Amino acid sequence: MDNQVVIQIDDLTKIYRVGVLRRSVEAVKGLDLNVFAGEVFAFLGQNGAGKTTTIKLLLGHARPTSGCTSLFGIDSRKPQSRYKVGYLPDLPHFYNFLSSLELLDYAGRLFGINKSYRIDRSRKLIKQVGLEGRENDPLRGFSRGMLQRIGLAQALINDPELLIIDEPLVGLDPAGRAELRHIILNLKERGKTIFFSSHILDDAQRIADRVGIINKGKLDSVGTLNELLTTKSGWDIRLAPIANRDILRQIANLETTIFHDSNSCSIKVENERDFKTILGWASQGLIHLKSIEDRRLSLEDVFLQELSKSTE
């Protein structure tokens, strides 16, 4: 990852007018964001948070109310900004009478790719997304997961420097999600930039270099996983079996969860006061420590914390 800015978003706002009364709905509110070359960036938020609207503004599918966006330093409203971009929407719709090969051939022609390279690349991409043997089958017979796979193949037909995918993991079975993660990581190894939206936090935590959390149109948090997941949520302590019944009663009165087996005692400690109490007993020789591990917030914990701020 280098310092070249591939996606730049400055003070972006989008207001829609809805209903017969033309009520104002602010889908994106003063959003600022840079995405750098070679990174995998996960754009996280609930349904309706503003993820898809932001992507539409990036790709010139909608016009901002205010602010601006650029791709590779070129204003997103200009078609040349998208020459090196691949895109997969959240609900791809294709001509259902086309076969997989015909769809990719059509996409390749739109990019001006010569015929021999186009056909060869199409076959390789069909194999890469796990649809080998279905090259000539019409898309009308494809499941949602299969359409997602061929949609990814068409997004890669031009060997893009930037891949933008909206909710790529929706509709895929566990094997398909694993394959997609593998494809994304392979693209990253080749120096490509990937920007994807999602509300599936586990997959984001596995593959993203940085994440941004958008909530009701506002970008609440941006950073690497290490930066966002630094907060302790407690401690996991393992002890030798405790024979002192008075200590056991005192532990039971703390804000802890205790588990016993024949070889050890495990305690989940939630706050620093109780943690210091247990360390004090250890220093007095009343209990015997085996191990202490910090328990960190998960990405889901951070995500839910950011969502809860808007309701306070």
Q: Running DSSP on this structure, what letter comes out for residue 134?
A: -
More confident residue, 75 or 2: 75
Q: How confident is the model at residue 187 (pLDDT cuts 50, 70, 90)?
A: very high
- pLDDT score for 312: 47
When computed from its CA atoms, the radius of gyration of the chain, rounded to whole angstroms, is 25
Report, as an integer, the average pLDDT of 190-198: 94
Average predicted confidence (pLDDT) for the chain: 87
- For 2-16, 196-210, 256-270, which range has the lowest pLDDT when averaged over its residues? 256-270
pLDDT at 230: 61
Q: Spell out the residues 6+ positions from residue 121 whose beta carbon is closer than 8 angstroms to its own.
A: 104, 108, 113, 157, 159
Spatial distance between the Cα atoms of 91 and 76, rounded to a whole number of angstroms: 22
The reported pTM is 0.76
pLDDT beyond 50 at 143:
yes
Regarding beta strands 74-75 and 66-71, do their DSSP bridges make them parallel or antiparallel, or are they unpaired? antiparallel
Can you give the pLDDT at residue 309? Answer: 63
Q: What are the structural domains, with CATH classification, of the chain?
A: 5-226 (3.40.50.300), 232-296 (3.30.70.3100)
Residues of the chain with pLDDT > 90: what percent?
49
